Structure 1
C-alpha cells in the first residue's frame, strides 16, 4: 500500500497540518493535587476534543523531557488534513497517528481511545491508532496524549513524546 508520513513534531509538518502542540502536567491539569484523586469518576476531561487547552503551555519540543517522579501529563493538538501529500490528493485516504510515549501513553483521537492500540501499551512501546479511514481535506482532528512516568511502582526519569507522525495510506 502506498504511504507517506508527515512528522507533526517538527515545524515543517506542523505548518502543513496547521498543528500547535500544547502541554500541561496533571491527570486533570489545573485541579488540586494535579487531578489525582482516588476513584476518580468520569476520567480526565483533557481527552475530549472540546476541552479548552488555550491556557496550556505551547510545546515546541515534544521529545524534551518534562518533570520527574510520579507524573501524569497531557499533550494536545488539533491537526488539519492537508489537500495533498507528496502530490497525492488526501481525500479518501486512511490516516494513522504514530507515536512512542516515554514511559506509558494513552492516545485519544477526537475524544475516543482505541482500546486495542491506543490504551497504555507497555514501557516505551510504539503506538499506531487510526485518525480516520476516509480523510477529507480541511477536516480537523484532535489528538490528546496522556503520558505517565514509570514504572508506576518506582518511577524515574521524565515524560516526553519521542515522535509524532501522521501516516497517510492510499
Structure 2
C-alpha cells in the first residue's frame, strides 16, 4: 500500500500539521502525588478539550524525563494538511505510529483503541488509526501517557522514541 509519513519530531513536519508537543508530569498533572490515588476514575489529560496551555513545550520527545516510577503526558493537536508528498490526503487512512519508553497509551480525540492503543509491552511499537477519512483542516488531539517501567522496579526514564503521522492510500495508483 503506498504511503507517506511525517516525522512529528521534525520542525518542518510539525509545521505541516500546525502542531506543537507539550508535556507534563503525573497521571493527573498538577495534582498532589502526581494524581496517584486509589480507585481513580482516570486522568482528564486524555480528553481533547483538556487545557494543556500551561504545560511545557516539548522540543525533543526523545529527551529523558524523570526517574523512578513516573507518568508523563505528551499532547499535540494536529491539523490534517491538504497534501503530503505532493498527494491529496483524501482517500487515505491516517495513522499515528510511536514507541514509548517504557510503557504507553495512545489516546486519539479522547478515545483509546483497546486493542492497539493500550500498553502493548515493554518498548513495543504502537500503531493506531487517527481517522479513516482524513479531510484537510480537520483537527485531532493525540495524547500519549508514558509510564516508566518495569512498574515494580522502574529504571531509566520516560521518553518517546519516535512519533510519526502516516497516510496510506487505498488506491494503489495514487
Deviation by residue 1:115-151 (Cα, 9 ceiling, x = unmatched): 0000011000000000000100010100000000000
CA distance in 1, matches of 2:32, 2:10: 33
1:91 to partner: Cα distance: 1.6
Secondary structure of 1:5's counterpart equals strand
Q: What TM-score does the superposition give when structure 2 sets the normalisation length?
A: 0.96
Paired position in structure 2 for 1:162 = 161
Query: Which runs of 5 or more structure 2 residues have no equivalent in the other structure?
Result: 170-174
1:46 to partner: Cα distance: 0.1
Paired position in structure 1 for 2:172 = none
Paired position in structure 2 for 1:49 = 48
Number of residue pairs matched by the alignment: 169
Query: Which runs of 5 or more structure 1 residues have no equivalent in the other structure?
Result: none
CA distance in 2, matches of 1:92, 1:132: 11
CA distance in 1, matches of 2:147, 2:154: 9
* Runs of 4+ deviating beyond 4 Å: none
1:92 to partner: Cα distance: 2.7
Which has the higher mean CA deviation after the structures are superposed, 49-58 or 6-15? 6-15
Secondary structure of 2:152's counterpart equals coil
Q: Is 1:103 aligned with 2:91?
A: no
RMSD of aligned alpha carbons:
0.5
CA distance in 1, matches of 2:46, 2:94: 20
CA distance in 1, matches of 2:8, 2:91: 20
CA distance in 1, matches of 2:16, 2:92: 16
CA distance in 1, matches of 2:163, 2:139: 16
Paired position in structure 2 for 1:151 = 150
CA distance in 2, matches of 1:115, 1:27: 19
Written as runs of structure 1 = structure 2, the 5 A alignment for 1:45-84 is 45-84=44-83
Paired position in structure 2 for 1:22 = 22
Q: What TM-score does the superposition give when structure 1 sets the normalisation length?
A: 0.98
CA distance in 1, matches of 2:138, 2:104: 25
Secondary structure of 2:112's counterpart equals coil
